Amino acid sequence: MNEARRRGPTQPSGPAEVISDGYLGDRRPSSQASNPRCPQFDWGSAPTGDEEGPQDLRGRPLSMSLKRAVWQVQQMRVPAVSKGESWKRKRTKVLRKLKEGTREFLYLFSPWRKALQLIAGNFGGGVQSFFVLLRFLVLLNFFSFLLIAGFVLVPSIVFSSEGSDSVNDPDLGECLDYNPNPQGLVPFYSYVLDVLLGTGFVELSYLFYGFYKNTLVQATNFSYNIPLAYIFTAVFYIAFCLICIVARLGTTARVVVATGGGSSGNYSMIAFASWDYGSLGEKETKLKQKNILYRLQVDLEEERLKKQAAALTLKQKIILYSLRVILFFLALGLIIAALVGIFMATQFSQERSGQEGILGLIIQYLPSIVITAGNFVVPMLCDQIGLLERYSPSLTIILALMRAVFLRLFGLCVLLFTLWSQVTCRGNPEEDDCRLCQYNHKLYPCWETRVGQEMYKLTVFDLLVTIATLVLVEFPRRMLVDNWSNKLVQKLGRQEFVVPANVLVLVYGQTVVWTGALFCPLLPLINTVKFIILFYCKKITLFCNCRPALRTFRSTTSTFFFLVVLLFGWALATAVMTYSLAA
């Protein structure tokens, strides 16, 4: 003790023993072997800037008291840095705080935050992922409309009485003749039909391609070419949507990688690292508890099915795989039959497009009716086939989604191919109807508007079917189940919220909008309103008419896959736009 006093005060133990080189008060670190029971802090790997200190310490396996002591020592260290380096660190810190503040500020204006939290707590993250995707598409369509309005719609309205026609070719006079406005008096109900069909006064508006003029505005220091702006805006619109989807896909992919690709068995991580300590109140706490319960159910279900698959004998595996092959071809046959029906309905509708009144309305909507019926019946049958295939819940969802994607996207391709064959005289411009204008001008005075009308009708009809299903099917089913004790009705029970089918509604609707945006520039605005209505309709049916799903699934991988499926629709729309611009 006396010798220790003569040497002076002892060095502090723990983290305060070490101050790295380059700082005032540098001392030699004590050997880690001097006290093997005490955890040591490696100063050589410590961050050089204070902006990364807290994050670095949180990831280290040290006790809380040791972390606190290390943090206090870091605060006392005075680095010997240049003014330029000091300014760079301050700038990085300010930019980081600005980024975090901006993110928190924008989060306050994020629509439907509380609704999404409520959905996740009651029905799990898988159902929540559908509503998150729906919110993303609402914002995407709204900002897309602002883009189109700023560069095409507003200039066309402002310069409608100015400028000059940029096309003066006399040889194209007959091909440019386009006047869909009917003459004389028309009955009142025809206005309702015009709204539903996109004809009449609706066709002669800024909603469709054929109404925009080839206006070229020239002034002393200003010139604006409406046709050129129209084309470039359409191209930039498609590119903007791709950038938004890829950016969101990258964020989701990082979450999937961080969670191990959503693999099961992360029970400790779910139990100890998934609690939200910002949850205040009894209601929010119960919702979070339900959310964690759903995640554990998903992992346990995946683990159980893996053990069952591993315990199968060779004979059982052969029987199972043979059954899966047979069911695969059965599902493929159903999809092909639906595509043939769409082709025949579209051809019949185009050949009898001159009908008027209610019969004309039914004939005009016949392709939309057949497409919607096929999209409803075939996936429902494929879901029953999927139950017999005995895949894991996640793989069952992916297969159901891929089959429905194949049906919907190829159904849209069949519709577009049938229109193309009618417009181009089945690809033969030498026929009498197509020789003058290189397309059937007599039947389709403005073929771009006709394609836009078909996409418009698909969008409107999809919304009407959603509302009618809610009012005429889902509510009556819930009332029967709640008020009638019949065994058959009780066995049927309340409906489940089938995520793949509902996601396909979004993907299909967005693909229709991307495909028709070149021919119907205001379609993104219509789709914004449609998706907002769809959000509230689905929320009402979820809480009022649905029960929690008996088979749960993981939200991380499903969200990633939903965005990948959305890219398929984008690719189809891009191919249609590229062909239309090239032609």
Q: What is the predicted pLDDT for the residue at 233?
A: 94
Contact at 8 Å (CB) between 187 and 205?
Answer: no
pLDDT in tens, 285-295: 776 777 778 77
Mean pLDDT value of segment 236-263: 79
In the chain, the largest separation of any two C-alpha atoms, in whole Å, equals 117
Whether the pLDDT of residue 66 is over 50: the answer is yes
Mean pLDDT value of segment 100-104: 78
Whether the pLDDT of residue 84 is over 50: the answer is yes
Q: Sorting pLDDT into bands at 50, 70 and 90, what band is 517?
A: very high
- The residues that bridge with 216 in the sheet, in sequence order, are 164, 225
Whether the pLDDT of residue 43 is over 80: the answer is no
Whether the pLDDT of residue 50 is over 60: the answer is no
Q: What is the predicted pLDDT for the residue at 224?
A: 83
Higher pLDDT, 362 or 340: 340
Identify the DSSP state of 16: G
Whether the pLDDT of residue 28 is over 70: the answer is no
Whether the pLDDT of residue 85 is over 60: the answer is yes
Distances (CA, A) of 332 to 324, 465, 504: 12, 26, 18
**Number of Cα atoms under 13 Å in the Cβ half of residue 77:** 26
Whether the pLDDT of residue 301 is over 80: the answer is no
Percent of the chain having pLDDT more than 70? 76
- State which of 319-333, 342-356, 398-412 shows the largest mean pLDDT: 319-333
- The residues that bridge with 23 in the sheet, in sequence order, are 79
* Single-letter amino acid code for the residue at 446: C
Whether the pLDDT of residue 268 is over 90: the answer is no
Whether the pLDDT of residue 18 is over 50: the answer is no
Q: What is the predicted pLDDT for the residue at 313?
A: 82
Whether the pLDDT of residue 272 is over 50: the answer is yes
Distances (CA, A) of 515 to 6, 424, 503: 87, 19, 18
Helix and strand numbers (H, E) in the chain are 21, 5
pLDDT in tens, 155-189: 888 887 665 555 555 555 667 777 766 555 667 77
Q: Sorting pLDDT into bands at 50, 70 and 90, what band is 530?
A: very high
> Within 10 A of 183 (CB to CB), how many other CB atoms are there?
6
Which has the minimum average pLDDT: 216-220, 304-308, 547-551?
547-551
Q: What is the predicted pLDDT for the residue at 352?
A: 76
Q: What is the predicted pLDDT for the residue at 21?
A: 42
Q: What is the predicted pLDDT for the residue at 315?
A: 84
* C-alpha torsion sign, points 155, 158, 162, 165: positive
Q: What is the predicted pLDDT for the residue at 480?
A: 87
pLDDT in tens, 128-164: 888 988 999 999 999 999 999 999 999 888 887 665 5
Q: What is the pTM of this model?
A: 0.74
Whether the pLDDT of residue 123 is over 80: the answer is no
Q: What is the predicted pLDDT for the residue at 439?
A: 81
- Cα separation, 335 vs 332, in Å, equals 5
Percent of the chain having pLDDT more than 90? 18
Mean pLDDT value of segment 467-472: 88
Q: What is the predicted pLDDT for the residue at 234?
A: 93
pLDDT in tens, 477-499: 888 888 887 878 777 778 888 78
Which has the minimum average pLDDT: 172-181, 229-238, 500-509?
172-181
- Cα separation, 434 vs 440, in Å, equals 5
Q: Sorting pLDDT into bands at 50, 70 and 90, what band is 537?
A: very high
With a CB cutoff of 8 Å and minimum separation 6, the contacts of 445 are 177, 178, 180, 210
Q: At which residue do the structure tokens 């683990």 appear?
A: 303
Q: What is the predicted pLDDT for the residue at 280?
A: 56
Kindly give the interhelix angle for 475-483 and 523-545, rounded to the nearest 10 degrees. 0
Q: What is the predicted pLDDT for the residue at 19?
A: 39
> Within 10 A of 231 (CB to CB), how many other CB atoms are there?
15
Whether the pLDDT of residue 46 is over 70: the answer is no
With a CB cutoff of 8 Å and minimum separation 6, the contacts of 122 are 287, 290, 543, 548
- Cα separation, 478 vs 464, in Å, equals 21
What value does the mean pLDDT of the chain take? Answer: 78
pLDDT in tens, 403-461: 888 888 888 888 888 888 888 887 777 777 787 787 887 778 888 888 899 899 999 99
Q: What is the predicted pLDDT for the residue at 246?
A: 92
Which has the minimum average pLDDT: 234-238, 310-314, 517-521?
310-314
Q: Sorting pLDDT into bands at 50, 70 and 90, what band is 243?
A: very high
| Short-list 452, 420, 453, 455, CA closest to 439 | 420
Domain boundaries, the chain: 10-76, 117-148+231-258+312-582
